[in-house]
Amino acid sequence: MAELYWPELEEIGKKKLEIPEKEHRQQPDAPIVVTDITLPQIIKEYPLVAIDCWAEWCGPCHMIAPVIEELARDYSGKIVFGKLNTDENRMSADKYDIMGIPTLLVFKKGKLVDQVIGAMPRQELEPKIIKHL
């Protein structure tokens, strides 16, 4: 009787192997730490990424941090949020011409599509990000 079910199990196993690894990976529901080294992979891996460029000494950056955390939770599975410390990651800050912080870089399918500069309340920031969904 086990022989009758073997072809079915083999077929299921083949289909499981065909599913790309990305579909298995759960998207984060909190901002992830991004560095000069990890940024290229992150923007390539996820369809829509918003990177919060900040620094420890920046008061407005700390004011917007809870908003970024809320958005990461609320848009989990749709938008991946990251945090890039510009003092520790100068290459990325220079590459994207970040002159003031906080700056939010929005990448869609690996391409920079928007740059939002300055701290603002959620009701102002959210539409600027979700328009890219």
CB 91 within 8 A of CB 36: yes
Exactly one of 34, 48, 50, 61 is catalytic; which is it? 61
Name 32's bridge partners.
Answer: 82
Mean pLDDT, contiguous 10-residue spans, the chain (133 residues): 52 51 66 97 97 98 97 97 98 96 98 97 97 96
- Gap between the terminal Cα atoms of the chain: 50
* Domain annotation covers residue 12: no
Residue 72's φ and ψ, nearest 5 degrees, are -60, -40
* Domain annotation covers residue 112: yes
* Domain annotation covers residue 120: yes
* Domain annotation covers residue 40: yes
**What pLDDT score was predicted for residue 8?**
60
CATH assignment at residue 68: 3.40.30.10
CB burial of residue 115 (10 Å; 0-12, 13-18, 19+): middle
**What pLDDT score was predicted for residue 25?**
56
Range of the domain at 86: 28-130
Exactly one of 58, 71, 93, 101 is catalytic; which is it? 58
Q: Is 53 a known active-site residue?
A: no
Q: Is the pTM of this model over 0.85?
A: no
